[in-house]
Amino acid sequence: MWDFVMLIMLIILLGVIAILIWWHKRKINECITKKYEYQNIITKYKQLTIIESEKLLKKELDFESKLLEKELDFESQLLKKDQAFESANVSMAIAQKYIQELNALLAKNKLEIDTLKRTIISVMHIARSHPNIITDNSNQFVISPCKYGNFKLDIFDIHVSRSMLFYGEWMDDEISLIGKLVGAGDVVFDVGANIGTHTIPFAKFVGPHGKVLSFEPHPNIVKTLMYNVRLNALDNVEIIPKVVCESNDYHFNVNLEDSEVLKGNQAGISFVGGEKSYGNIPSTCLDQFTHLSPRLLKFDVEQMQINVLKGARKLITDLRPIIYMENHEKQYSAALLREMFNLQYDCYWHLVPAFNPDNYLKLKQDIWSGKGHCINMLCLPTEKNIHLSGLIKIESEEEWITDRINIDFSEDSPQDFLQFRIPVESIKGLEFV
């Protein structure tokens, strides 16, 4: 009896094993079938991906081709324009015409413009002696080869364009210093870009994988800025034609009767209302651009530095960029330094003479008579604990540059500011920034 029970149990066990083997084989076959199905799906997906990639590549090639055609068309149009320009030998009769117009301005506005007259005559002389300089049909602008590319320049501008015409550069010690602080792939904000004297080299420093945001609100100047960016074929520059301040809700007017404008200093305008204006110019603040993670902020904003900083507190607090800004007016300096110290930055004086004896065009004459200069600050996050030699570190918010340098900024001072020039090669520690 026991043997019979054992036989029955053995038969049942064998049956169970057979069922398990059958079930296992079935699952294996199902897995193999699914594997082949997945392989077929992957093969079809790869084929589709290849087709889509080819389509995408074709689209990119078509886009690049169209872009190249546009660039070539632009270059062709520019060349035709250049060929249609007057020759470089600008006649002195045109200079006389300018002087007559300036005399009319003098009679109307009762402004002293002898300096502007001398500038026009000087520019005519430069244009006659440099065959690479060409003028446009308005006889107000010239295109001139400069250190960092070709620039369209306004001969009525007695500061920036005048320097670019005579020397092929403007405040190049500023650019050389910043060139040591940024590199390929970086993002730079040029706030107060003017005609692009700094934007153009910045764009070349950061390269095609970097980016320059160039802020310039003046309607006339921004047209020249846009032209200069196109002229130098730079596609890593974005121009923002707005006033940078503490809010993006404000609007400003350009006062065309501002004395600085009428004296030929286009960069020295103030943003206040006037009877004659271009209308509303919108504002923006740098906190709107935090997502771009700038490495360096450069400000040249005519006493609006505090406004710019107030609108950039989040960006500065979160990203801790290098800041290079003008601090040219003693009456605004303490408030500006207080703001920088509150933001936990170390600040250094950087006095830049307008005349560089090693200028690009090798002109040895100082057209500023030793007095042209700009007082700037290089500001570094305190937590980086960087110590620079060659620049003077600012110790308190009440400090002014004359407290540390024996320099006299009065108009009748016999000092030549060139003696205070600090070549970038003499500044040590920049490699650690």
Clarify whether residues 43 and 150 are in a common domain.
Answer: no
**Residue 232 near residue 149 (C-beta atoms within 8 A):** yes
> Tens-of-pLDDT digits for all 433 residues of the chain?
666 667 777 777 777 676 767 766 776 677 666 666 666 666 665 565 556 555 655 665 565 556 555 555 555 555 444 444 443 334 344 445 555 555 555 555 544 445 555 555 555 555 545 545 555 555 678 888 899 999 998 877 888 988 998 899 999 999 999 999 999 999 999 999 999 999 999 999 999 999 999 999 988 899 999 999 999 999 999 999 999 999 888 877 765 554 444 445 565 565 544 333 445 788 899 999 999 999 999 999 888 899 999 999 999 999 999 999 999 999 999 999 999 999 999 999 999 999 999 999 888 888 888 888 999 999 999 999 999 999 999 999 999 999 999 988 887 777 788 888 999 999 999 988 8
Clarify whether residues 309 and 426 are in a common domain.
Answer: yes
Q: What is the CA radius of gyration of the chain?
A: 33
Phi, psi of 382 (to 5 degrees): -60, -35
Clarify whether residues 51 and 110 are in a common domain.
Answer: no
Clarify whether residues 183 and 323 are in a common domain.
Answer: yes
pLDDT of residue 250: 80
The residue whose two tokens read 């650690």 is: 432
Phi, psi of 262 (to 5 degrees): -70, -20
Phi, psi of 427 (to 5 degrees): -90, 120
Clarify whether residues 160 and 209 are in a common domain.
Answer: no
Which of 106, 135, 167 is the endpoint of a domain?
167
Clarify whether residues 139 and 218 are in a common domain.
Answer: no
pLDDT of residue 247: 85
What is the C-alpha to C-alpha distance for residues 295 and 316, in angstroms, rounded to an integer?
10
pLDDT of residue 21: 72
pLDDT of residue 202: 98
Which of 167, 194, 227 is the endpoint of a domain?
167
Clarify whether residues 392 and 254 are in a common domain.
Answer: yes
Clarify whether residues 358 and 412 are in a common domain.
Answer: yes
Count of CB atoms within 10 A of residue 241's CB? 18
Return the amino acid letter for 396. Answer: S
| Domain harbouring 247, CATH code | 3.40.50.150
pTM for the model:
0.71
What is the C-alpha to C-alpha distance for residues 111 and 146, in angstroms, rounded to an integer?
32
Domain housing 390 = 171-432
Clarify whether residues 207 and 145 are in a common domain.
Answer: no
pLDDT of residue 364: 86
Clarify whether residues 130 and 35 are in a common domain.
Answer: no
The residue whose two tokens read 């900024």 is: 409
Clarify whether residues 282 and 349 are in a common domain.
Answer: yes
Number of domains the chain contains:
3
Clarify whether residues 315 and 333 are in a common domain.
Answer: yes
Which of 84, 116, 134 is the endpoint of a domain?
84
**Residue 319 near residue 297 (C-beta atoms within 8 A):** no
